[in-house]
Amino acid sequence: MMGELALSQLRFLTLESQGLTKPYPFGKGKDAVLKTVEHLGYLQIDTLSIVERAHHHTLWTRIPDYQTAYLDELVEERKVFEYWFHAASYLPMKDFRFVLPQMLNVKQSETHYYNADPKVMKYVLDTIRAEGPKKARDFENETKRAGSWWSWKPTKIALERLFLQGDLMISRRNGMQKTYDLTENVLPKSINTTLPTDLEFAEYLVKTYLNAYGFTTVKQITHLKTGELIRRNVDKVLKSMLQARTIQLINIENRPPVFVYKDLLEKSLNRTASSIRLLSPFDNSIIHRDRVKQFFDFDYKIECYTPKEKRQFRYFCLPILFGDTFIGRVDCKAHRKEKEFELIHLHIENTKIDIELWINPFLELVKNFATFNNCENLKLTKVSPIKFTDKIRQVLT
């Protein structure tokens, strides 16, 4: 068994692996965006825009000079693509072959939730093949023609089904508006399209999580991957890596067994001054809620999907990370028309850390985030505990 020293070391290693300990961990500009996506393995897409959308927020957290156009450009340059990881995500184009098993599974499924009409699917494919890339709204216009026998909704379902089974890819994106094209027109010729074996797929998952997080658990690797076969293959890959001494197994009391790259454990910890981060609820570092609770003692849940009367921290709280400690969360909203960024409710949960250590860098971070959200002014509405309100307002002004 290993104790608090190992736990502290693991926290630092995973934050460093996630790119959350240095100002420019992956460099600057558009090249840094590609490096970030390739290192993290995926980037979750979310439609909520209370503040800047999750995929852009997650990149801005690691790339201070990030511009939202960079991601769209990488899609058009065929360096990243959209598909499903544990949710809708951007993935490195080099990893395309590892989504093939899921595409095949969708194609062979007759009970998939995108249960599209085969005739409509054929119509959509034929139209794109003949006329070129299409948005969903292009088909909406078609349905308004006299004599049309289909409606817009079936074409949207057909587009999504064809996308999920790999016949179509998203070739361009404007905000949340997607443009679909034939996969053969989008996928670079150099990309490996060999279907991975079950063992290769398990190895891809294991190495993706180890590279992105520094350490991982079996539960994290198999997150939302059902079936005994994937679990057996993950165990097989981990056993092989343990035998090769590339990873090490660590047991910490009251926590699941951890697998960590051996060379990371052997490196000296070069800890710099504690940085502060305002994370997206869908940031890769916090998306695995059990892991965050077990190793960082932070119980986080996004409450926008929770009935209003049952919410504890309001609609869209962003976790606040100071060094290797989650010190609280803040419910925010970008009022873009008014150019005002509102801190609706700042919850300070770790009061053992002196507020003087983090309040100034936190408010500077919030100002930068407000600018990223195209807002010019800050508004502070509520603070808990209330005793910190005057101090924060004083610093804010």
CATH topology of domain 4-68+193-266: Arc Repressor Mutant, subunit A (1.10.10)
Share above pLDDT 70 across residues of the chain, in percent, rounded to a whole number: 93
Confidence of residue 117 (pLDDT cuts 50, 70, 90): confident
81-95, 106-120, 381-395: segment of lowest average pLDDT = 106-120
311 φ, ψ to 5°?
-75, 140
pLDDT given for residue 340 in this prediction: 97
The mean pLDDT of the chain is 91
What is the mean pLDDT of the segment spanning 269-280?
A: 80
pLDDT given for residue 140 in this prediction: 73
| Residue 252 CB-density burial (10 A; 0-12 exposed, 13-18 middle, 19+ buried) | middle
57-66, 149-158, 160-169, 332-341: segment of lowest average pLDDT = 149-158
Instruction: Kindly compute the dihedral angle of the four CA atoms of residues 95, 163, 86, 317, in this order, to the nearest 10 degrees.
Output: 120
pLDDT given for residue 201 in this prediction: 97
Which neighbouring-strand residues pair with 123? none
Q: For residues 24 and 148, which has the higher predicted lDDT (pLDDT)?
A: 24
In whole angstroms, what is the distance from residue 81 CA to residue 92 CA? 6
In whole angstroms, what is the distance from residue 4 CA to residue 10 CA? 10
Which neighbouring-strand residues pair with 43? 90
CB 223 within 8 A of CB 289: no
CATH number of 298-396: 3.40.630
DSSP 135: E
SS3 category, 77: coil
The domain ranges of the chain are 4-68+193-266, 109-186, 298-396
Q: What token pair was written down for 169?
A: 């890819």
Side chain identity, residue 319: P
pLDDT given for residue 30 in this prediction: 97
Confidence of residue 113 (pLDDT cuts 50, 70, 90): low
- Residue-wise pLDDT for 40-58, tens only, equals 999 999 888 999 999 999 9
In whole angstroms, what is the distance from residue 251 CA to residue 55 CA? 33
Q: Is the pLDDT of residue 3 over 80?
A: no
What is the mean pLDDT of the segment spanning 285-299?
A: 95
For Cα atoms 137, 141, 144, give the angle at the middle one, nearest 5 degrees: 140
Domain 109-186 has CATH 3.40.50.2000: no
Which neighbouring-strand residues pair with 276? 322
Q: Is the pLDDT of residue 144 over 60?
A: no
Q: What token pair was written down for 383?
A: 């603070």
What is the mean pLDDT of the segment spanning 390-397?
A: 87
Q: What is the three-state SS of 299-359? A: CCCCCCCCCHHHCCCCCCEEEEEECCEEEEEEEEEEECCCCEEEEEEEEECCCCCCHHHHH
- Indicate left, alpha or beta for 284 from its phi (over 0: left) and psi (-120 to 50: alpha): alpha
Cis-peptide into 307, omega within 30 deg: no
What is the mean pLDDT of the segment spanning 222-228?
A: 88
What is the mean pLDDT of the segment spanning 194-213?
A: 97
Confidence of residue 114 (pLDDT cuts 50, 70, 90): confident
pLDDT given for residue 150 in this prediction: 44
Side chain identity, residue 296: F
Q: Is the dihedral of CA 116, 117, 121, 123 positive or negative?
A: negative
Q: What are the Cα distances from residue 267, in Å, to 12, 270, 272?
A: 12, 9, 15
Q: 365, 381, 377, 318: which is closest to 51 by C-alpha?
A: 318
Q: Is the pLDDT of residue 112 over 80?
A: no
Side chain identity, residue 71: L
Confidence of residue 147 (pLDDT cuts 50, 70, 90): very low
In whole angstroms, what is the distance from residue 170 CA to residue 163 CA? 8
- Residue-wise pLDDT for 339-393, tens only, equals 999 999 999 999 999 999 999 999 999 999 999 999 999 999 999 999 999 999 9
Model confidence, pTM: 0.93
